[in-house]
Amino acid sequence: DTAVSQTPKYLVTQMGNDKSIKCEQNLGHDTMYWYKQDSKKFLKIMFSYNNKELIINETVPNRFSPKSPDKAHLNLHINSLELGDSAVYFCASSQLRGPTSPLHFGNGTRLTVT
């Protein structure tokens, strides 16, 4: 059973389009995250949700909007895609909010904007 699953695995789209990435975890964890990994492998936190409540919103353009319908799901919607949005987006979850719980990552969504 996949613990943290993301769809789609690959996403190729043109500038200006709107796209969504879905994430689901079956671990029963309370906290979920979106991280962006750029071409230099830098993993940057974007958003964090705890029990459907937004707790972190890093300096991310307003074009990115996360939505958590329940604590097992965290989706990411991106409007008006730009070339610089090309990256691998990782969803992750942890049992607890805070620094003592390991992160479990999904397999990533490779977004390519042309």
Partner 1 sequence: QQPVQSPQAVILREGEDAVINCSSSKALYSVHWYRQKHGEAPVFLMILLKGGEQKGHEKISASFNEKKQQSSLYLTASQLSYSGTYFCGTESHQAGTALIFGKGTTLSVSS
**Using rule CB under 8 A, residue 52 touches partner 1:** no
**Using rule CB under 8 A, residue 105 touches partner 1:** yes
Most distant CA pair in the chain: distance in Å?
40
Peptide bond between residue 8 and the one before it cis (omega within 30 degrees of 0): yes
User: Considering the complex, what minimum distance in angstroms separates the CB of residue 103 from partner 1?
Assistant: 6
What one-character-per-residue DSSP string does 50-94 give? Answer: ETTEEEEE-S--TTEEEEEEETTEEEEEE-S--GGG-EEEEEEEE
End-to-end CA distance of the chain: 34
**Using rule CB under 8 A, residue 66 touches partner 1:** no
User: Considering the complex, what minimum distance in angstroms separates the CB of residue 1 from partner 1?
Assistant: 16
Listed ranges 14-22, 70-78, 79-87, 100-108: which one lies at the site for partner 1 (CB under 8 A): 100-108
Residues 27-46 within binding reach of partner 1 (CB under 8 A): 33, 35, 40-45
Tokens standing for 9? 């695995």
Q: Report the alpha-carbon angle 77-73-48, nearest 5.
A: 70
Residue 14 vs 28, nearer CB to partner 1: 28
The residues binding partner 1 (CB under 8 A) are 33, 35, 40-45, 48, 50, 55-56, 90, 97-100, 102-108
